[in-house]
Amino acid sequence: MEGTERLRLAVQKTGRLSEKSLEIIAGCGISFGSDSRLLKEHARNFPLEFLFVRDDDIPAYVRDGVADIGIVGRNELDERCPDDLEIVRDLGFAQCRLSVAVPRDFPYGGLQWLAGKRIATSYPNILGRILEERGVTAKICYLSGSVEIAPAAGIADAICDLVSSGTTLLMNGLREVEPLYSSTAVMVSRQGFMSEASPRQVILERLLLRIDSVIRAKSYKYIMFNLPADHVTAVSKIAGGMKSPTVTPLLEEGWVSVQMVVAEDTFWDIFEKLRELGAQGILVTPIEKLTE
């Protein structure tokens, strides 16, 4: 059965999500062509079919069963059909926030300042929900793009748009005043797909096993260093959640070589402690895959 079935994955054709989405799939050892003019393509060594589409359409494609899964910003999911889809993995990339921004010189005094004002956004549903939760009634003006020009064009008093570095806002004379919502790229399926036990769901399980190992690998580093042998116990105490480090004696009396895996976010703390313990020649390498 499974031999004839392919899991259908919708990814953004061109844009901020495209490259990283395909990078994760390639990191899973899945190979495919790279003709960006194609709308549809299948992997050579895994039962996976790609649909290359606009990111706005991905939630609806997955909801309607045109695709089984999709990679999309959480923002698009929450804007379009949050109740019909299920997040199967947070992929962590394409971090951004939905923020309110006002013209640079405006005396912004908190969210209440927006009461009765006109706010331009491409995310009226998310913004509407958040304003309602916070008890602010404003006029939401929908714009499908180029939201940042709305205040200068006299269409709105403020905007609510996606921000990552903030450069676009600055270039348009705007100031970010209120981050309201954060987003990353997520993999979605329609509600219930994960518990269907269908051939395609089985393929998704296989894919997720690989994706988890790729994502886990990205948050760890492999480090190697030389250490005075009498400090081995101290090092094993700072090794964190992984199994104890690998210790090999060096030819030089009283020294050992140590290898261990450390979490990316603890790396610099561990690095400083290792230096204090007399570690030398600390070599750090990325990890391609890491299973539990």
* Residues of this chain that bind ligand ATP (CB under 6 A): 12, 15-17, 54-56, 73, 75-76, 94, 96, 162-164, 183
Q: Which two tokens stand for residue 31?
A: 């190979």
Cβ–Cβ under 8 Å, residues 95 and 183? yes
Q: Which is nearer to ligand ATP, 8 or 74 (CB)?
A: 74
What is the spatial distance between Cα 258 and Cα 200, in angstroms, rounded to a whole number? 43
Q: Answer with the entry of Mg ion, ligand ATP, none that 188 interacts with (C-beta below 5 to 8 A by kind).
A: none
What residue 191 binds from Mg ion, ligand ATP, none (CB within 5 to 8 A, per partner kind)?
Answer: none
Q: Which does 76 bind (CB under 5 to 8 A by kind): Mg ion, ligand ATP, none?
A: ligand ATP
Q: How far is the CB of 55 from Mg ion (least distance, A)?
A: 4
Nearer to Mg ion, 75 or 99 (CB): 75
- The 96-103 sheet, strands edge to edge: 139-142, 118-121, 158-163, 96-103, 174-183
In this structure, are residues 67 and 58 in contact, taking their beta carbons and an 8 Å threshold? yes
Q: DSSP character for 244?
A: P
Minimal distance in Å, beta carbon 7 to ligand ATP?
21
Summarize as ranges the residues that interact with Mg ion (CB under 5 A). 55-56
Indicate which of Mg ion, ligand ATP, none lies near residue 12 (CB less than 5 to 8 Å, by partner kind).
ligand ATP
Query: Least distance from C-beta 285 to ligand ATP, angstroms?
Result: 28
- The DSSP output letter for 289 is -
The answer to whether the beta carbons of residues 247 and 257 sit under 8 Å apart is yes
